[in-house]
Amino acid sequence: MKLTARLRPIAFIAVLLVAWQVAVSRHPAYILPGPWGVIGGIVDLVRHGFLVKYVVASLFRVTWGFSLAAVLAIPLGLTIGWYRRAEMALNPLVQVFRPISPLAWIPLAILWFGVGDASSIFLIFLGCFFPLLLTSINAVRNIPSVYINAGRNFGLGPADLIYRVFYPAVVPQLLVGLRITLGVAWLVVVAAEMIAVDSGLGFLIVDARNAGNRYDLVLAGMVIIGLIGLLLDTAMRSLEKIRSLRWAYSED
């Protein structure tokens, strides 16, 4: 039964690929390359050494932007969620900046940091900061007050209260927020690389379009972006299965 469940998505993807190849071969106009053309584009990227170079460049920017946002947003969000006065003071400012798309900051990012890694990392940081901040605030606010009161009634000091009550209650929600935000970071880096840098998978797509309409490379870049996004999401989901991090989940 488990084997059948695992084979279903593979079979569905295979059917889509066959339908894609048939549609391309029968259509009189050359609109998109077929699956074999995309595979040829990926092989071409590997042969010329561009694939590893561009993937590493994109992952480098995502790692830095995502990590900086997590390091700053999570402690700040937990603090704001714990102290209601801080939330009342800072919430209007957060709600003003939160709806602004990270892509709207591209002109300022280029002005401040120039064309390069720093501008892309800044845009990724902005795309991750506010989702992580709000996730952290809500994680604290969703702690049942009975847990905190019980900890205090048992004589737990501030340090023990954080370790035994606060930390177990917020970590599962933070993991979900980190997983979602990592997907946002991967979206932002591709968009930023189309404008603000001269390397990476986003740059590959634009450069392939401008340099002779290489749509096989365009689709190859899209496929690689999707596969890496799947791997990143799978890695984050695996953290949710770690026993020491899954207090909020019921045992199977």
What is the tens place of the pLDDT at every residue in 48-93?
888 889 999 999 999 999 999 999 999 898 888 878 787 788 888 8
Tell me how far apart the alpha carbons of residues 181 and 239 are, in angstroms, rounded to a whole number.
15
Mean pLDDT, all residues of the chain: 81
**10 in any annotated domain:** no
What is the tens place of the pLDDT at every residue in 116-132?
888 889 999 999 999 99
Residues written for the chain: 252
**156 in any annotated domain:** yes
Tell me how far apart the alpha carbons of residues 217 and 223 are, in angstroms, rounded to a whole number.
10
pTM exceeds 0.75 for this model: yes
- How many helices (H) and strands (E) the chain has is answered by 11, 0
Total structural domains within the chain = 1
Tell me how far apart the alpha carbons of residues 116 and 100 are, in angstroms, rounded to a whole number.
22
Q: Which domain holds residue 116?
A: 39-245
**218 in any annotated domain:** yes
Tell me how far apart the alpha carbons of residues 121 and 68 are, in angstroms, rounded to a whole number.
9
**109 in any annotated domain:** yes
**4 in any annotated domain:** no
**87 in any annotated domain:** yes
Tell me how far apart the alpha carbons of residues 113 and 17 are, in angstroms, rounded to a whole number.
42
**16 in any annotated domain:** no
**14 in any annotated domain:** no
- 199: domain CATH number? 1.10.3720.10
Tell me how far apart the alpha carbons of residues 83 and 121 are, in angstroms, rounded to a whole number.
30
Tell me how far apart the alpha carbons of residues 133 and 72 are, in angstroms, rounded to a whole number.
9
What is the tens place of the pLDDT at every residue in 153-197?
767 666 667 667 777 778 888 888 898 999 899 988 888 888 767
